[in-house]
Amino acid sequence: MDFLVRIDTSRVHDLPADDHADLVRRERHRGRELMAEGVLRRLWRLPGKRANIGLWSADDADALEEALDSLPIRPYADIEVTALATHPLTAEGPLPR
């Protein structure tokens, strides 16, 4: 199942500089792992915002929760989850990337 996930990371920027740098480093590492697992499929920054928006895939909401809970920034993040359903247009065959 696909989910659109918006993660606001504003509060991360209130951390002391060292903690902030360390957290970003650990977060990037975990992000790479989730990409390799095919859970995090696409990721963008929202211009001007301290937030990202990504395409996540998981069996269901529980599996998504587990993945989100594994993010080091989880305690500082405000997250909006939008469940996505297949569009008839794409049901007739995968979209070119």
Interface with its own copies (CB under 8 A): 1-5, 13, 28, 31-32, 35-36, 38, 40-49, 52-55, 60-62, 64-65, 68, 75, 79-90, 95-97
Using DSSP, state whether 32 is helix, strand or coil. helix
Hey, which residues does 4 pair with through a beta bridge? 55, 82
CB of 58 to its own copies, least distance (A): 9
Residue with Cβ nearer its own copies (68 or 72): 68
CB of 26 to its own copies, least distance (A): 13
Rg (CA), the chain: 15
Are the CB atoms for 79 and 6 separated by under 8 Å?
A: yes
